[in-house]
Amino acid sequence: MISSRRTGWLFVAVQVVLLGALVALPTGTDWQQPTWMSVASAILLVAGAGIALTGMGYLGPSLTATPEPKQGASLRTDGLYRYVRHPIYSGVLLIAAGLVVRSRSFVTLAVGMLTLAFFNGKAAWEERRLAATYDDYAEYAAGAGRFAPRRGRRVSP
């Protein structure tokens, strides 16, 4: 059986490959690109970067390269984490969506869908470890969405 640490680094490696593919795949001509779609793509890219960087900032010294909880770190439930459990992943997924819209390629769209499925699996794996590490994780998870805020629900700081 693969160790938890190795699995965490495997997640990182797959993530790099998927995001690299989204950036490196050539632009296609599979759909028209009206101006509003170009603007939407740019907004998704900028918003995604802002959300991901803000999420990283809130984690501070608890930030790790892998989805394995850092020993001695506390569970963050404030800032963006008050609304979503994985704001860094949310930001990366917005960036991926912006790249897909910009690409005009069904191949890139397929890689984007694979990226979404991958992050969903990675988040589920991480959440099992967070629940094992933090006694109050289940209560927190019930109030905060995985990648997007839950309508009408949020965690008290």
For 60-97, how does the pLDDT look when each residue is reduced to its tens digit (9 = 90+)?
999 999 999 999 999 999 999 999 999 999 999 999 99
Q: Is residue 66 part of a domain?
A: no
Checking if the pLDDT of 155 tops 70, the result is no
Cα 12 from chain centroid (whole Å):
12
Look at residues 88, 69, 75, 78 and name the one whose alpha carbon lies nearest to residue 147.
88
- C-alpha–C-alpha distance, residues 131 and 85, integer Å: 12
Give the helix/strand (H/E) hosting 54.
helix 35-59
Provide mean pLDDT across the span 11-19: 98
Q: Is residue 102 part of a domain?
A: yes
Question: Nearest 5°: CA angle at 122, between 120 and 124?
Answer: 70
- C-alpha–C-alpha distance, residues 26 and 6, integer Å: 32
What range defines the domain where residue 40 resides? 33-61+76-147
Q: Is residue 17 part of a domain?
A: no
Global confidence as pTM: 0.93
Q: Is residue 25 part of a domain?
A: no
Give per-residue pLDDT as tens, 26-46. 999 999 999 999 999 999 999
- pLDDT of res. 90: 98
Instruction: Say how many domains are in the chain.
Output: 1
What rounded mean pLDDT belongs to the chain? 94
Q: Is residue 137 part of a domain?
A: yes
Q: Is residue 115 part of a domain?
A: yes
Q: Is residue 136 part of a domain?
A: yes
Q: Which pLDDT band holds residue 2 (cuts at 50, 70, 90)?
A: confident
Q: Is residue 14 part of a domain?
A: no
